[in-house]
Structure 1
Amino acid sequence: MLTKFDHYNRELFSNELPSCLITLQREKRTYGYFSSKRFVNRRDEKHTDEIAMNPAYFAVISLQEILQTLVHEMVHAWQFHFGKPGRRGYHNREWADKMEAVGLMPSSNSAPGGARTGEKMGDYALEGGLFLAATEKLLAQGFGISWLDRIPVAVSETSTSATASGGTLGAPLGAEVSSLIHVPVDKNRSNRIKYRCPSCASQAWGKPNLRLLCGEMTCDAAPLLPADG
């Protein structure tokens, strides 16, 4: 994922963004988040930012949405270093302008017609925008997600957005962090079914019509099949 950060930093931010740590975190109800100065070097006490990605969603959302999440958080990083972030949890006009500049339209409902600023924000890619052009270059290089969580989260059929974000002081997770929450976990299990690997019998729950692959090495990414009961 770090090499993808470098790609979008070059294509969308003119290499302005400082390096950061890309981590995988299963933070509930979030695709990813940005946390400024989250880590400190043991030797020289220098700080670096964190962009976290949630691998629990990699199997249930599109590759484009995963990459949109990365770029969305990179815009938060840009605003922390070169702009003026809004109050805790608020996506302000400066942030929205930069999102548009890199080819992502901010939207409170992740679709055309949503509010452009606010606390609960999603986004969608702009046709002919820089993000899609940069992503096409990336995919032309053969980029893909090789590893998927065997037990993905259940995602609601209706995508609504919410943001539980804060300042940019690098306080403990869940406090002073800037988060993008695209899609809430569907807590109603009535619309979830059980899937089972035909080789090792590993099981997972998810919405109907998912395409899930087994992560066990001996199963060679066998497709999981709907299970009875």
Structure 2
Amino acid sequence: MIKPSIVAYKELQHAYDFFNEHLFNNELPNLLITLQRGKHTFGYFSPERFTGKSTVSELALNPDYFGERSLADTLSTLAHEMCHVWQHYAEVKKCRGGYHDRVWGHKMESIGLMPSNTGLQGGKKTGQQMTHYIMKDGLFQQIVYKLLSSGFEISWYDKYSENMTSPISKVNHDILIDWINQTPKDDINLINKLTKTVNSNSIQMVGDADLAIVSSKPILKGTGTRDKFTCPDCGQNAWAKPTAYLICGDCNKRMENIS
């Protein structure tokens, strides 16, 4: 019998241990990983939050966003919070709770995540409210690919996250192309993990030269921004801008614009 609580937390613990080994040289302590909802936050770190048999810190992830963000983005949030864990326990300069200073920022960059208050290039690198994006050719890009190619996945997400406003994705087109170029063309499961959200709100088509990621939900009529494309062989549908060149990942056939 599947025990969802054990499976869900075991998955997060596995990701924490994997990143601790490959990004932090096993320097981070064991702590309590929790799922906590909070407005406008992907996760947080709370030092020495729990006590009992011992005193341990808390690293929380917000499951509200698991269904709206790519798996790589969700895992990058875990690594982001692990940089806070590192700063708290390492012999380095500390900062006030919740603030993102240069010490934390330099550690982020060393593991392949660029601090940015906008989630885009050119954003501020320090501040109270801070996110990040994955650096092209950085260490995190390599390590998260290794984790996902090992079969890692997150089994459950909040179904109501489908109705939330989706945050900016930090995985850019060039990084996705790098990942796809490393992946056997017939490994559709891994290709999907690299790009689509956990709740399958997006699908991908892979061609020889390019990658397109589009929403699998039809755009409302009258917006004039998306056309419907269909694979002539299997009938798979996708919606994208009228000029898009889409390839069906299952049949390797160009999808036809039928709008």
TM-score bracket relative to the smaller structure: 0.5 to 0.7
Match of 1:110 among 96, 109, 119: 119
Corresponding residue number in structure 2 for 1:96: 105
**CA 30–158 in structure 1, closer or farther in 2 if over 3 Å, else same:** closer
Q: Which residue of 1 aligns with 2:159?
A: 150
Candidates 62, 72, 81, aligned match of 1:64: 72
What CA deviation, in whole Å up to 9, does each residue of 1:68-106 have, x standing for no partner? 110000000000001233224321110100000011000
Aligned partners of 1:225, 1:97: CA distance in 2, in Å? 42
**Structure having the higher Rg:** 2
Q: Distance in 2 between matches of 1:17 and 1:152?
A: 31
Cα distance in 1 for partners of 2:139, 2:108 equals 10
Counterpart of 2:72 in 1: which secondary structure? helix
Partner in structure 1 of residue 201 of structure 2: 211
Aligned residue in 1 for 2:148: 139
Question: What are the Cα deviations for residues 102-159 of structure 1, in whole angstroms up to 9, with x where unaligned?
Answer: 1100011111111111122110011111111110110111111211212116443664
- Report the alpha carbon displacement of residue 27 of structure 1 after superposing the two structures with TM: 2.0
Q: Which moved more, 1:149-158 or 1:77-86?
A: 149-158
Greater share of helix: 2
Q: Residue 29 of structure 1: CA displacement?
A: 2.2
Q: 1:50 aligns to what?
A: 58
Quick check: 2:69–2:166 contact (8 Å CA) kept in 1? no
Aligned to 2:13: 2
TM-score, normalised to structure 2, is: 0.58
CA distance in 2, matches of 1:40, 1:224: 46
Distance change in 2, residues 1:157/1:71 (3 Å): closer
SS at 1:11 equivalent: helix
Q: How does 1:150-229 map to 2 (within 5 A)?
A: 150-152=159-161, 154-156=163-165, 159=168, 211=201
Unpaired runs of at least 5, structure 1: 161-209, 213-222
Q: Report the counterpart of residue 12 of structure 1 in structure 2.
A: 23
Rounded Cα–Cα distance in structure 1 between residues aligned with 2:77 and 2:96: 21
> Could you tell me how far 1:32 is from its partner in structure 2?
0.8
Change in Cα spacing, 1:148 to 1:100, as seen in structure 2 (3 Å) is same
> Any idea what SS the aligned residue of 1:59 has?
coil
Aligned residue pairs: how many?
164
- Matching residue of 2:34: 23
Give the letter aligned to residue 19 of structure 2. Answer: Y
Cα distance in 1 for residues equivalent to 2:154 and 2:97: 32
Q: Please report how far the alpha carbon of residue 19 of structure 1 lies from its aligned counterpart in structure 2 after TM superposition.
A: 0.5
**Secondary structure of residue in 2 paired with 1:137:** helix
1:196-222 Cα shifts (integer Å, max 9, x gaps): xxxxxxxxxxxxxx829xxxxxxxxxx
Aligned counterpart in structure 1 of residue 134 of structure 2, from 89, 105, 125: 125
| Residue identity (%) | 44
* Counterpart-to-counterpart distance in 2, 1:142 and 1:135: 11
| Counterpart for residue 245 of structure 2 | none
Whole-Å separation in 1 of the counterparts to 2:57 and 2:156: 25
SS of aligned partner of 2:38: coil
Partner of 1:177: none
Instruction: Tell me the SS of whatever aligns to 2:161.
Output: coil
In structure 2, runs of 5+ residues without a counterpart are 1-11, 170-199, 203-215, 220-259
CA distance in structure 1 between the aligned counterparts of 2:43 and 2:162, rounded to whole angstroms: 14
Q: Bigger relative contact order, structure 1 or 2, given CA contacts below 8 A and separation 6+?
A: 1
CA–CA distance in structure 2, aligned partners of residues 156 and 75 of structure 1: 27
Residue type at the aligned position of 1:56: D
Say whether residues 1:35 and 2:43 are aligned partners: no
